[in-house]
């Protein structure tokens, strides 16, 4: 058996993955060869809550066993972006680890902008203490008033917002400045144009793109697995499969209010410190909304819907019945 090799995971697929050797600080050495590796069965036993034990961006220790490279251990993570697995599988699905930023890519046209999905992803990023930015793509298909209203909503909540159009090559310089010298994960609905944006920034990547489905009003999955790519400008980006539904993992219902930044100032004036801003007496958030203060209705609806879902999953009474 050879000495242990320190690596960074750049792709995960079932029980297999791809890794690239890392330096002493855990940074990928992109000039080295990307290597296929197997995952030690013990990792699945140790991480039963995870659908797959590894995430792209994980720093791991691998050893040679015959002709195969085997991932033997996972180093402590700085952060982890994950969701609840789809379908009846209620386990955690790790998506990306040790990232500097999450770029939520949302689009206009087909598929239309989804505030519910966007708000869920942003809340999950906040829960994992991952800085987030909202990238509004396909702006050439948006009505100007709608585009400005969406932008104002999220900037008031404290999120940076970028406008991009891969087709018109607009906003790519600003996006490049955001990605440069950082490790960023791109995430969003299927068909919002993540791969097209990356191709516009780095034509050499040659990522596949597909047209959206008009009948389903949703995107078709082009990226089928998460993959980390180095950027010539410096840094790396993790391209992820698009989703149709996003369900946060592990977010306690009573903490959800902390991850909607626009509630924080008014929330400090609530009668109860654990107020959920739903129907509690003395709720300053409800009072502010009734007084006409600017709490966007779309964000508040997202909050209530997600709160009820999390109560059903992690405990709580949910919405009271009449």
Quote the pLDDT of residue 101: 97
Q: Which of 76, 99, 118 is the last residue of a domain?
A: 76
> Are residue 261 and residue 221 in the same domain, yes or no?
no
Render pLDDT for 145-186 as a digit per residue (tens, 0 to 9): 999 999 999 999 999 999 999 889 999 999 999 999 999 999
Residue 298 Rama label (left phi>0; alpha psi -120 to 50; beta): alpha
Q: Which of 25, 58, 76 is the last residue of a domain?
A: 76
pTM: 0.89
CATH of the domain at 261: 1.10.40.50
Quote the pLDDT of residue 86: 79
How many structural domains does the chain have? 3
> Are residue 10 and residue 66 in the same domain, yes or no?
yes
> Are residue 122 and residue 232 in the same domain, yes or no?
yes
> Are residue 95 and residue 72 in the same domain, yes or no?
no
* Full DSSP string of 169-205: TBSHHHHHHHHTTSEEEEE-BTTS-HHHHHHHH-GGG
In a domain, 322, yes or no: no
Q: Is the predicted pLDDT of residue 222 greater than 50, yes or no?
A: no
Q: Tell me if residue 102 falls in helix, strand or coil.
A: strand
Render pLDDT for 21-80 as a digit per residue (tens, 0 to 9): 999 999 999 999 999 999 999 999 999 899 999 999 999 999 999 889 999 999 999 999
Q: Tell me if residue 136 falls in helix, strand or coil.
A: strand
Q: How confident is the model at residue 103 (pLDDT cuts 50, 70, 90)?
A: very high
CATH of the domain at 226: 3.40.50.300
Q: Which domain holds residue 30?
A: 5-76
């Amino acid at each position: 058996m050879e000495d242990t090799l320190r690596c960074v995971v750049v792709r995960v697929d079932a029980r297999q993955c791809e890794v690239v050797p890392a330096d002493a600080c855990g940074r990928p050495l992109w000039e080295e060869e990307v290597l296929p590796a197997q995952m030690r069965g013990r990792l699945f036993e140790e991480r039963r809550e995870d659908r797959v034990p590894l995430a792209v961006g994980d720093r791991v220790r691998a050893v040679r066993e015959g002709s195969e490279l085997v991932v033997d251990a996972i180093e402590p993570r700085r952060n982890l972006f994950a969701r609840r697995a789809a379908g009846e599988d209620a386990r955690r699905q790790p998506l990306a680890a040790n990232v500097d930023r999450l770029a939520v890519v949302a689009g206009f046209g087909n598929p239309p902008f989804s505030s519910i999905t966007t708000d869920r992803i942003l809340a999950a990023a906040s829960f994992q203490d991952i800085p987030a930015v909202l990238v509004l793509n396909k702006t050439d298909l948006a009505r100007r008033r709608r585009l400005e209203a969406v932008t104002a909503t999220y900037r008031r909540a404290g999120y940076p917002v970028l406008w991009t159009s891969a087709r018109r090559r607009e906003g790519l310089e600003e996006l490049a400045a955001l990605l440069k010298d950082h490790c960023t994960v791109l995430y969003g609905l299927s068909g919002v144009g993540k791969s097209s944006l990356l191709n516009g920034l780095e034509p050499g990547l040659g990522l596949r793109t597909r047209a959206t489905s008009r009948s389903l009003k949703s995107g078709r999955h082009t990226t089928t697995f998460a993959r980390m790519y180095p950027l010539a400008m410096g840094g790396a980006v993790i391209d992820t499969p698009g989703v149709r539904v996003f369900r946060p993992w592990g977010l306690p219902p009573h903490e959800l209010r902390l991850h909607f930044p626009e509630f924080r100032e008014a929330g400090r004036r609530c009668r109860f410190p654990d107020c959920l801003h739903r129907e509690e007496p003395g709720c300053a958030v409800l009072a502010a909304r009734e007084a006409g203060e600017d709490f966007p209705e779309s964000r508040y609806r997202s909050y209530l819907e997600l709160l009820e879902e999390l109560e059903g999953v992690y405990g709580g009474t949910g919405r009271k019945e009449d």
